[in-house]
Structure 1
Amino acid sequence: MTPARIIDSHHHLWDLSKVHYPWLMQRGVKRFFGDPTPIQRNYLSADFKSDHGKLKVVNSVHIQVGAENGLNEAQWVDAQTRSNSLPSAQVSFCDLTALDATEQLDQLSMLTSLRGIRQIVGRSPSEDAQTGTDGLIASPAFGNGLSLLQARKLSFDLQLIPEQMLRMACLLEGYPSLSVSLCHMGSPWYQSGAGLATWKAGIQELAKNPNIHCKLSGLVMFNHGWRPEDFKPYIEHVLESFGEGRVMFGSNFPVDGLHTGYEQLVDAYIQCINELGKVNLDAIFHDNAAAFYRLTR
């Protein structure tokens, strides 16, 4: 079985002559996802289409990717949605803890492509210790920012690590109508033992909230020498926890493209899902993202 149409709910584009990305342009620095050197070049809609090849990707969602100026990036992406068939919508950056968060959201909301906000809560244990992003969960200002999103009916893309899941699940109970999309299946760093148990428990707790969806994305970042069978235990647990109605595909290209081809990645996910039994691939690869991000094709 294969999906009839695909919506890629999580990918990135960049034009390095228009928007600056400090993390991307660092030289000689390896990140948790690998060495960024091969992707230190423009990655535009035409490149994205070339990567997905013959696959029928009918819609896509651009996710903010650490620009020096988030509004600048969002305005550039909005122009891409008007001049290209992909991307179709975007999730932008806003510092929800800022004193001017309301004004930032006012400006972003003028963009017709805007669907939600991502402010990263956790990247990796070592990086979070340096950046202090782990402190967001306990920040009253961050909680106030989530309230602003809820009131505006904007979604929140949640990127975090397993150790943060239980605390974040507790926090999100206070925002009963906020739609949340869990990026990269909650960053499953651990392959076995207590670490894997932490991830599994966190996934189950987050899944209790009916407003939280989960992206089948980013697994390649955590296993650079991957094989399709490596993904299966994670996909199985996510589907058991969230159900096929709250899981959606995202490629995380071009970052995952450091370690895989686009069609190879899609084939691996489909293989794993098909081996789990009767699962609605059209829901995971199209319908759920269409509903969550309000996409029409």
Structure 2
Amino acid sequence: MRIDAHHHLWDLDAVAYPWLMARGEARFFGDPTPIQRNYLLAEHRRNASGFGASVHIQVGAADPRAEARWVQSVADANPDWPLVQVVFCDLTAPDLGAGLDHYQTLTTLRGVRQIVGRAPGEDAATGTQALLDDPRFAEGLRELARRGLSFDLQLIPELYEGMARVLDQAPDTQIALCHAGSPHDRSPEGLAAWAKALPLLSGRPNVACKLSGLGMFDHGWTPATIRPIVETCLAQFTPERCMFGSNFPVDSLYSDFATLTAAYDALLPEAAKPAVFHDTAAAFYRLP
């Protein structure tokens, strides 16, 4: 059984997603128009042939708690598909403890994602990277560790150095690096710079890496164009700290699920597949 360690679901009648439904706004990942519709577990299960469990990642709901409760209801209604979730919680909030207490009533809770960086242009506008200079962020990461929760880390290579200083202060927090650390510059020089900076994260035993979302900065990707990223992550993290994530339905903008998994089947050494497609995610997110 394979595990999809990074995907989203949404029911637009149940939960509002302002970013998704915005009209005429260009985003770094492309035009969201084709995915401005419900994407439910039944469709994801049809897409994910050969998979049998998954990790839902929070995806910018107007009401993050409503999203988390909805995901819990989906999991409860589908016991034959183990589904756990990573929720949004502001680690710098003065009421962080109460917020985490609320989420910990959900049996599907495994961790938190608070995005540090998406893409250079958008980060300049949102200022999310300011988290790196906020001492409450590091303390929030430590609180996750105390509660047995992990953190899904999304950021771009320019922020690795600052994030490394934060992680120095939270060595016990289990970190899942989303989207291979978002190497957005896919030129040879850009990939070389990313690979050189990556040890700031890969050198930490508490950091695992998601091979996910690689189409967001390469909309016409092929196995050949993502090969350097996959091979670098396997070399630096080892397969035992790498896991596959589809990033669907966002990455459905660039390929279907079968094409995506076929690419990884071709790129991954046979010996690495049990870890990348199952074992790493099963251990990290406590799945079967």
Do Structure 1 and Structure 2 share a fold, with TM-score over 0.5?
Answer: yes
Which residue identity lines up with residue 162 of structure 1 in the other structure? Answer: P
Q: Residue 80 of structure 1 contacts residue 87 of structure 1 at CA under 8 Å; is this kept in 2?
A: no
For residues 111-154 of structure 1, give each alpha carbon's deviation from its aligned partner in whole angstroms, at most 9, with x where no partner exists: 00000000000000111111110100111121121121011010
Q: Secondary structure at the match of 2:268?
A: helix
Task: List alignment gaps of at least 5 residues for structure 2.
Answer: none
Does the 8 A contact of 2:142 with 2:172 survive in 1?
A: no
2:119 corresponds in structure 1 to: 124
Matched, 1:252 2:244: no
Measured on the aligned residues, the alpha-carbon RMSD in Å equals 1.2
Pairs within 5 Å for 1:194-205: 194-205=189-200
Q: List aligned pairs for 1:213-232, cutoff 5 A.
A: 213-232=208-227
Give me the whole-angstrom Cα distance separating, in 2, the residues matched to 1:191 and 1:143: 31
* Counterpart residue type for residue 138 of structure 1: D
2:104 to 89, 102, 109: 109
Equivalent in the alignment of 2:66: 72
Q: CA deviation at 1:193?
A: 5.0
Q: Give 1:86 shift.
A: 3.7
User: In the aligned structure 1, how far is the partner of 2:139 from the partner of 2:67?
Assistant: 24
Moved over 2 A (4+): 192-198
Q: Helix, strand or coil for the counterpart of 1:96?
A: coil
Q: Determine if contact 1:173/1:209 at 8 Å carries over to the other structure.
A: no
- Cα shift at 1:203: 1.5
Quote the residue 1:63 is aligned against: 57
Alpha carbons 1:24, 1:36 under 8 Å: kept? yes
Q: Which moved more, 1:166-175 or 1:225-234?
A: 166-175
Q: Work out the CA distance in 2 between the residues paired with 1:199 and 1:122.
A: 15
Q: Which residue of 2 aligns with 1:33?
A: 29
Q: Secondary structure at the match of 1:263?
A: helix
What code does the residue aligned with 1:73 have? E
Partner deviation per Cα, 1:203-256 (whole Å, 9 max, x = no partner): 222111101000010001111111111111111111110001000000000000
SS at match of 1:31: coil
SS at the partner of 1:23? Answer: helix
State how far apart, in whole Å, the 2-side matches of 1:202 and 1:71 are.
35
Q: Using the TM superposition, give the Cα deviation of residue 180 of structure 1 relative to its aligned residue in structure 2, in angstroms.
A: 0.3
2:204 counterpart residue number: 209
Asked if the contact 1:176–1:211 (Cα under 8 Å) also holds between the matched residues in 2, the reply is yes
Once the two structures are superposed, the pairs formed by residues 116-155 of structure 1 within 5 Å of their partners are 116-155=111-150
Q: Contact 2:177–2:209 (CA<8 Å) still a contact in 1?
A: yes
What is the rounded CA distance, in whole Å, between the counterparts of 1:261 and 1:291 in structure 2?
A: 27
TM-score (norm 1): 0.94
In structure 2, what is the Cα distance between the partners aligned to 1:134 and 1:246?
Answer: 25
Residue 232 of structure 1 aligns with an amino acid whose one-letter code is R
Aligned length: 287
Distance 1:167 1:50 in 2: 40
Q: What pairs up with 1:176-187 in 2 under 5 angstroms? A: 176-187=171-182
**Normalising to structure 2: TM-score of the pair?**
0.97
Any stretches of 5+ residues in structure 1 without a counterpart?
A: none
Which of the numbers 282, 286, 297 marks the counterpart of 2:278? Answer: 286
1:62 deviates by 0.2
1:194 Cα shift?
4.5
Partner of 1:219, secondary structure, is coil
The 1-side partners of 2:100 and 2:157 are apart by: 29
> In the alignment, which residue of structure 2 is the partner of 1:11?
7
